[in-house]
Structure 1
Amino acid sequence: MSIAKQAVKETRFTFDGQTGFYRGKVRDVYHFEDRLVMVATDRISAFDVVLPRPIPFKGQVLNQTAAHFLQATADIVPNWLLAVPDPNVAVGLKCQPYPIEMVVRGYLAGHAWREYRAGKRTLCGVALPDGLKESDKLPEPIITPATKAQEGHDEDISREEILERGIVSESEYVQLEKYTLALFQRGTEMAARRGLILVDTKYEFGSLNGQIYLIDEIHTPDSSRYFYADSYAQNQERALPQKQLSKEFVREWLIANHFQGKEGQTVPEMSDEWIDQISNRYIELYETVTGQSFQRSETDNIYQRIEENIRRSLTVTYF
């Protein structure tokens, strides 16, 4: 069996008590009255497009990395996670999501760099100084929110626009900003202990009974970008690209093959070798950021394993 056939592309389960189902770019989410069951599939997206081939073990990496950091930040803000009954599954509180992503950046990279290179000096209402190079450290971390699109591309939005449109109340938004900066600080400290720099990341929040909760994933390769600390200064000095732990290398490969998710563009063919390389990079990130050895989950009858573990979790009372 080729490695690609062992991947989880999508699930189609039906459970007693299920009240809804949502398929995101990467996760399949099963709704119940008091909880969500989130299956981290092996789908991979870039430029808000789901690529045609799944990446083995990617879902496990995302799920277990997120659980690691949710547990490590629970003292900063309550989070949705209740249990991890399967390597690819998280069970958590059913919160009402805020329709924005809190993107926080400590360095000029990725989307922010592409905008800056194009001549923009204001990003989401935040002014950026002239004279910065790609991957330069910003004077201080900045928050550049994005709307959470149900379909298509997320869009940059400023704090002022969020408040003007009434997307989030001012008091809630102030609290979201505080949580975002505190989480980024904790993530930065944890990354530094692993010889890494947390470059940028995003957080999603929801509310339940008047309380704000951190939801979804945090500090994973899909939501975050990391540089290696030991080579950062030298690479900046020599104007060399930074070695990254993130899925930016997938975006760069797509750009080099003339795909950025724009109308009329076709996703380039992904070879078995390329799929294996992406899988190995995800595993490398897990081991590097968590300091734990990655244990590949059993992939024979993978869908049966996931379904049985979810069914068992549904018999557990968390409240």
Structure 2
Amino acid sequence: MSHADTVLAVNNDLPIRTDKPVHSGKVRSVYWLTEEDSRRLIQEKGYPVAPDAPLAVMVISDRISAFDCIWHGEGGLRGVPGKGAALNAIANHWFKRFKEQGLADSHILDIPHPAVWIVQKARPVMIEAIARQYITGSMWRAYSKGEREFCGIELPDGLSKDQKLPELLITPSTKGILKGVPGVPEADDVNITRQNIEDNFAAFNFRSAEDIGRYEQLLKEGFDVISAELARLDQVFVDTKFEFGYVTDAQGKQKLIYMDEVGTPDSSRIWDGERYRNGEIVENSKEGFRQALLHHFPDPDILLNKDRMGEREALARDNALPEAMLMQVSATYVGIAEKIIGEKLNLPDNPKAEIVQVLRDDYGLID
């Protein structure tokens, strides 16, 4: 069996019963269940949500995106073997830890298969909640050019690349394009300050100004739980992105929860602790793939310059990457997942057939 056979690249064509279009993101596809199926499952499975809560099936893929493009490899490799299972296993592990520590809930209600979540509909807060413990990446690039203010936070002089910051910094950016918010450019993924959020909390989908402090608290608590456990594995939790949203609980109350995934190599930078102490950066996250891409192409500016998006999309479409490059990403993701969960990762041979079977036999969602 070739590596290409085990990859779940297309995940928006499963025969799951739905009366809405399938939403396909960079990595996950979302199938909104019919009202009837949602009600039935809430009752049958005893999910702790309002009886009429809309549910969805979220299927993760093995696609790999970087620099806002989807990449593929030689030999028909349309993704990275084991990547989806690794991401879900890691996120599931942290959400379980959050629950044990009494942190907020997530939108995940059930995990029928390593590549599948059943989630409740959440109203997303329109913020990419980013926390940084070390100065690296885009922040270092800007700092090295003399910038000292990030998202309204003043940084001291004299910091060096990849060093630990004096404190955990929250440097939010926009999720999606927000229109008509004073002081906030109408573009996806632009840095914002806490003041921007306070002045326009409703535009960011917050219910109240108090909830800004609540999201920051949840971000810090979540970061600390993950950081402490990774430190025990001698891994450095460098920075991460969380997403938050509101759901209605079984009592009809609105609550702020964690959404999407947390603490994964897609949404975080993770460094090997021993190598870091020896002055070397070894990435146990997608950052390693980003760096490999920058070295692979003769003109890395195409990948870094947002004004060259057309060229960048052509680069991703027209270039099959060496198989070894994607297998290196596979080894990184599976390796860090097995470290975190403390056991071998269960990698399906034929993920699609398994998903169809479990959703048909145990959930009645496939005719």
With the length of structure 2 as denominator, give the TM-score of the two structures.
0.79
Give the SS at the match of 2:213: helix
Q: Is the 8 A contact 2:6 2:349 kept in 1?
A: no
Q: Is the 8 A contact 2:64 2:79 kept in 1?
A: yes
> Any residues of structure 2 matched to 1:90-129 within 5 Å, and which?
90-129=117-156
Q: Is the 8 A contact 1:110 1:248 kept in 2?
A: no
How far apart in 2 are the matches of 1:269 and 1:252?
Answer: 17
Is 1:35 the counterpart of 2:55? The answer is yes
Is 1:217 the counterpart of 2:256? The answer is no
How far apart in 1 are the matches of 2:230 and 2:285?
Answer: 13
Distance change >3 Å, CA 2–CA 119, structure 1 → 2: farther
Is 1:78 the counterpart of 2:78? The answer is no
Gaps of 5+ in 1: 236-240
Deviation at 1:94, TM superposition (A): 1.4
Distance change >3 Å, CA 31–CA 271, structure 1 → 2: same
The equivalent of 2:286 in structure 1 is 247
Superposed CA deviations along residues 18-48 of structure 1, whole A, max 9, x for unmatched, are 4442111111111234212111101111122
Q: Which letter maps to 2:197?
A: I
Is 1:206 the counterpart of 2:245? The answer is yes
Deviation at 1:198, TM superposition (A): 0.7
How far apart in 1 are the matches of 2:115 and 2:145?
Answer: 39
Is 1:162 the counterpart of 2:197? The answer is yes
How far apart in 1 are the matches of 2:32 and 2:325?
Answer: 34
The equivalent of 2:41 in structure 1 is none
Q: Is the 8 A contact 1:191 1:197 kept in 2?
A: yes
Is 1:260 the counterpart of 2:293? The answer is no
- Identity level (%): 32
Q: Aligned to 2:166, which of 134, 139, 158?
A: 139
Q: Is the 8 A contact 2:89 2:341 kept in 1?
A: no
More deviation in 255-264 or 33-42?
Answer: 255-264
Is 1:69 the counterpart of 2:91? The answer is no
Give the SS at the match of 1:298: coil
How far apart in 1 are the matches of 2:269 and 2:341?
Answer: 14
Distance change >3 Å, CA 184–CA 255, structure 1 → 2: same
With the length of structure 1 as denominator, give the TM-score of the two structures.
0.90
Distance change >3 Å, CA 271–CA 211, structure 1 → 2: same
Which has the greater radius of gyration? 2
Q: Is the 8 A contact 2:15 2:356 kept in 1?
A: no
Number of residue pairs aligned between Structure 1 and Structure 2: 309
How far apart in 2 are the matches of 1:49 and 1:155?
Answer: 18
Is 1:296 the counterpart of 2:340? The answer is no
Q: Which letter maps to 1:224?
A: S
Is 1:309 the counterpart of 2:358? The answer is yes
Give the SS at the match of 1:112: helix
How far apart in 2 are the matches of 1:157 and 1:88?
Answer: 33
The equivalent of 1:238 in structure 2 is none
Q: Which letter maps to 1:177?
A: E
How far apart in 1 are the matches of 2:27 and 2:175?
Answer: 14
The equivalent of 1:57 in structure 2 is 82
Give the SS at the match of 2:162: coil
RMSD: 2.1
Deviation at 1:162, TM superposition (A): 2.2
Distance change >3 Å, CA 275–CA 234, structure 1 → 2: closer
How far apart in 2 are the matches of 1:260 and 1:313?
Answer: 44
How far apart in 1 are the matches of 2:361 and 2:198?
Answer: 43
How far apart in 1 are the matches of 2:362 and 2:120?
Answer: 13
Deviation at 1:313, TM superposition (A): 5.3
Distance change >3 Å, CA 16–CA 56, structure 1 → 2: same
Is 1:227 the counterpart of 2:271? The answer is yes
Q: Is the 8 A contact 1:104 1:142 kept in 2?
A: yes
How far apart in 2 are the matches of 1:130 and 1:307?
Answer: 56
How far apart in 1 are the matches of 2:196 and 2:174?
Answer: 11
Superposed CA deviations along residues 270-306 of structure 1, whole A, max 9, x for unmatched, are 111212111111111111223222222222xx32222
Q: Is the 8 A contact 1:4 1:275 kept in 2?
A: no
Gaps of 5+ in 2: 36-53, 73-77, 178-186, 249-253
Distance change >3 Å, CA 17–CA 26, structure 1 → 2: closer
Give the SS at the match of 1:199: strand
The equivalent of 1:270 in structure 2 is 321
Distance change >3 Å, CA 165–CA 51, structure 1 → 2: farther
How far apart in 1 are the matches of 2:266 and 2:332?
Answer: 12
